[in-house]
Structure 1
Amino acid sequence: MSKTTIYLIRHAEAEGNFIRRFHGITDSDVTEKGKLQAQKLAERLKNVHFDVIYSSPLKRAFYTAQQIAKGRGIEIIIRADLVEINGGDWEDRCWDELPILYPKEYELWEKRPHEHCMPNGESMYELYLRAVSAFEDIVKTNSGKCVCIVTHGTLIRALLTYIKGYEFERLNEILWQDNTAINIIEYKDSRCNLLVEGDWSHLGEELSTIAYQDWWQQFLKERGIREQNINIIERRENYE
């Protein structure tokens, strides 16, 4: 069976990322920093041949996909099943409000996210099933090709449990990724090989969204990660 290569990419910074409000299906615009991030991402990928580019329908993902697609003559294929988790009552709420308004649900989100369900929204397991179904369909449709998928942080986190061969209960072992982070997967003989996980080194410190946000520092501290600015979770040399 021929090898299929998938670049799984998080969108550029959007307003919700900057102002720290929960934007799942809320369709916020890309920020000025996000536009610079997308430009850096496109420059990083300019020598990578893509046969097809898929995107979530939300503006932050589609804009990012457009920057990658420039000059390639490739139509971007929109897939509704690549959209971010439906946050239900959490949508457009300030992150600082969530543990106060929804203490039980927020504790699950933080400590046992595989059990979490958004109030009047989507559960993490529903998101996982949707993400895996989309991924498998895209791989099946594009056997032997190089594919770009632009989507969202929570969806990527859930999908990586499948790609890494984890039980979904291990979701909390998957680290969050910065905007425009790159994951590269080789699919062959019905197996996924994760070559690169969470690489946002193209941003540098000055364009990172999460590097200096308090929640990220706390996230690293809770997991015993000492580095102040993690920009590559896993990387194998000469992958491009």
Structure 2
Amino acid sequence: MVKLYIIRHAESQWNPIGRYQGLLDPELSERGREQARRLGEHFKDVELHALYSSPLKRTLQTAQEIASVKGLEVVEERRVIEIDHGNWSGLLVEEVQERYPEQFRQWLEEPHRVSFEGGESLQDVYSRVNSFMEYLKERHWGQNVAVVSHTVPIRCMYCGLLKVDLSKFWSFGCDNASYSLVHMEKDRNVIMRLNITCHLGELYVEAHKAL
């Protein structure tokens, strides 16, 4: 079995204003830095053998707080990088609603059908994160592993781990600096904890519904 901790990065500078980040690279906000510190403290007594992160600043800065507490090296992994939002990248939610109303509706109601112009589709992300999940099972069987990623790849991970259709993409909560625990067993995957945020206390902020 692999005990897999799936972690979303702490709050970035763009999260509070509802701006699509994609592969753009804002750093953590002031609140996000404190969220990441508390997340690291929470993992102080959790046994970890490996720590992976998307190569973007918001994930690396979050992962580093865990790494410093655990004495681990952060391994950068492009397969868990955020979706490339293409033409949406850098736009506010309100701007996307105005410029791309039909695609925005589809993103909320039929995300599995969306392919971002100049970017990726949900299926693209699903394929790469599932490739990484298989790698983890082969490389880290019998170990505890943490992965710091983003909302879209994380929700795709859940769909892949549970073998549910990508149309269920929005069925999983994914707040900043949250973590989930999945037991990756030989013939099944069991979600033991989902979107845990109790370590954040007053720093908890509910995630934007459209990001």
TM-score (norm: length of structure 2): 0.94
Alignment match, 1:210: 206
Cα deviation, residue 165, structure 1: 2.5
What is the aligned counterpart of 1:144 among 142, 145, 152?
142
Cα shift readout 1:9-44 (whole Å, capped 9, x = no counterpart): 000100120221100111101001001101111111
Q: Distance in 2 between matches of 1:61 and 1:193?
A: 25
Alignment match, 2:46: 48
* 1:5-24 pair list within 5 angstroms: 5-24=3-22
1:53–1:147 CA contact under 8 A, matched in 2:
yes
Alignment match, 1:109: 107
Q: Which moved more, 1:54-63 or 1:71-80?
A: 71-80
Cα shift readout 1:17-72 (whole Å, capped 9, x = no counterpart): 02211001111010010011011111111100110000000000001110001143
Aligned residue for 2:133, secondary structure, equals helix
Alignment match, 1:230: none
Pairing 1:133–2:131 present? yes
Provide runs of 4+ in structure 1 moved above 6 Å.
Answer: none
* 1:88-107 pair list within 5 angstroms: 88-107=86-105
1:17–1:209 CA contact under 8 A, matched in 2:
no
Q: Distance in 2 between matches of 1:176 and 1:85?
A: 17
Aligned residue for 1:28, secondary structure, equals coil
Cα deviation, residue 167, structure 1: 2.1
The percent identity for this pair of structures is 31
Question: 2:177 is matched by which residue type in structure 1?
Answer: T
What is the aligned counterpart of 1:197 among 184, 191, 194?
194
Cα deviation, residue 176, structure 1: 3.5
Question: 1:210 is matched by which residue type in structure 2?
Answer: E
Change (3 A) 1:111 1:100: same
Unpaired stretches in structure 1, ≥5 consecutive residues: 220-240
Cα shift readout 1:81-139 (whole Å, capped 9, x = no counterpart): 11000011111011111111011211110101111111211001111111111121122
Aligned residue for 2:198, secondary structure, equals coil
Q: Distance in 1 between matches of 2:69 and 2:5?
A: 18
Alignment match, 1:226: none
Q: Distance in 1 between matches of 2:70 and 2:39?
A: 15
Pairing 1:186–2:146 present? no
What is the aligned counterpart of 2:119 among 117, 121, 131?
121
Aligned residue for 1:38, secondary structure, equals helix
Cα shift readout 1:150-207 (whole Å, capped 9, x = no counterpart): 00011111211112231223223x2331101111011121321110111111112x21
Say which structure, 1 or 2, has more relative contact order (CA 8 Å, 6+ apart).
Answer: 2
Pairing 1:155–2:149 present? no
TM-score (norm: length of structure 1): 0.83
Unpaired stretches in structure 2, ≥5 consecutive residues: none
Q: Distance in 2 between matches of 1:113 and 1:168?
A: 7
Alignment match, 1:77: 75
